Amino acid sequence: MNFDPYTQEPIHHGGIWDSSNCLSNEDTTVNFFTHKLTELGYTAQDSRNRVWHQGNKKVIVCLVDDIRSCSTDYHADLPYLFDRDTVVITDNYIGCPTQYRVWNIPPSFFNIYSNTPNAEWTPDRNYTFGVNRIDQRRLKLMLELAWRVHLHKGYVNFNCQKDFDGDTFKGTERLPANFDHFWNELSEQDQATWSASYKLLQPQMPLKNYDCTHEEIHSRSWLNIVVESYSSDNSAAFSEKIFRALTLPVPWTCYTGRYGVAYLESLGFDCLSDIIDHNHYDRLKEVENKIGIFVWKSLEVIKDLKNRDFAELKLRCEKAATYNRELLKMYKHHWPAEFEQWKLAFLPHLV
């Protein structure tokens, strides 16, 4: 479990975690697959019960996580992560053909994030940017943000926790070393690009420039900059981060897999696309300077929002949040029946 280095309390606590009970609801679905696959004679190959084998057959169960994390082939592209005898059961958006079979569970699974936050949009800083674990992409986004804007203009949290195999980073004393570890993994070109940002940020790690709660900052910014880094050019995994944004009456941008925001639109969510041009960054591949363009676009959105009629903008955001909350409630109502139909259609093929 990851802990807040400032309070030493569990990160997965309060706000949407408690109001939606998403962790427990997610575990219920994962436990179903664990019991079912065991019953069918499959054996778990990892401690998290995500990779299962039975003879030549393999089943991957990957929910609320990147399916790439279930592969040991770190050089294979998404279509070739697993062999032809593999079935991947996931909630991930997969935007390309694959040589393995992908069985997406019904989108109504996202009902686990259904909640009704009691929050009013009262912005007093430009943006919110919060990261509770570090990886290459999160680090680059933090470096780019620090290069483009003064951090005091936003609510920023970057505690850079990360679990390595056999070595868990906890507390504040090792976090700067953790930050350095990922910095040293960057290419020479990236280090040259963000050297000034690194010199600014490193002494401040872990960085947190506010005293209110993590949930409160999302209602006190002009824009919530959401990072769903479990993604690629051809996939996207969604977590509580984007569903918090969708159910709050506050504008947002989201760094996720290519066309990830478009996928949310296709599921029926109101993504405020009439006031935010998500397509400007959502269509980009990683090699197209997606990180730089995403951060630049997010800061441009803030400028535009401040030039709009706030009363009208507030009403528009409240309408979107209400609509998205109702959609998640509908998902919650339909999930049991849709999951039962899914089981009848797919599970017989595992025998």
CA distance 254 to 314: 20
Q: What is the pLDDT of residue 26?
A: 97
Question: Which residues touch 343 (CB under 8 Å, ≥6 apart)?
Answer: none
CA distance 339 to 107: 10
Q: With beta carbons less than 8 A apart as the criterion, state whether 120 and 321 touch.
A: no
Q: With beta carbons less than 8 A apart as the criterion, state whether 306 and 282 touch.
A: no
How is residue 270 written in tokens? 């109101």
CA distance 27 to 37: 15
Among 54, 12, 22, residue whose Cα is nearest residue 214: 12
Q: With beta carbons less than 8 A apart as the criterion, state whether 155 and 222 touch.
A: no
Between β-strands 125-131 and 221-227, what pairing exists: parallel, antiparallel or unpaired?
parallel
Q: What is the pLDDT of residue 171?
A: 45
Q: What is the pLDDT of residue 172?
A: 45
Distance of CA 11 to the CA centre of its chain: 15
Q: What is the pLDDT of residue 221?
A: 98
Written as one letter, the residue type at 116 is T
Q: What is the pLDDT of residue 165?
A: 43
Q: Of all helices (H) and strands (E), which one includes residue 197?
A: helix 195-201
> pLDDT digit of tens for each residue in the chain (351 aa)?
555 655 555 566 678 999 999 999 999 999 999 999 999 999 999 999 999 999 999 999 999 999 999 999 989 999 999 999 999 999 999 999 999 999 999 999 999 999 999 999 999 999 999 998 899 999 999 999 999 999 999 999 998 876 544 344 444 445 777 899 999 999 999 999 999 999 999 999 999 999 999 999 999 999 999 999 899 999 999 999 999 999 999 999 999 999 999 999 999 999 999 999 999 999 999 999 999 999 999 999 999 999 999 999 999 999 999 999 999 999 999 999 999 999 999 999 999
Which 3 state secondary structure label does DSSP give 10?
strand
The DSSP bridge partners found for residue 168 are 163
CA distance 194 to 216: 30
Q: What is the CATH number of domain 125-322?
A: 3.40.50
CA distance 209 to 93: 34
**Whole-prediction pTM:** 0.94
Domain boundaries, the chain: 16-107+334-350, 125-322
Q: Hey, which bits of 174-275 come out as E strands?
A: 207-208, 221-227, 231-232, 235-236, 252-255
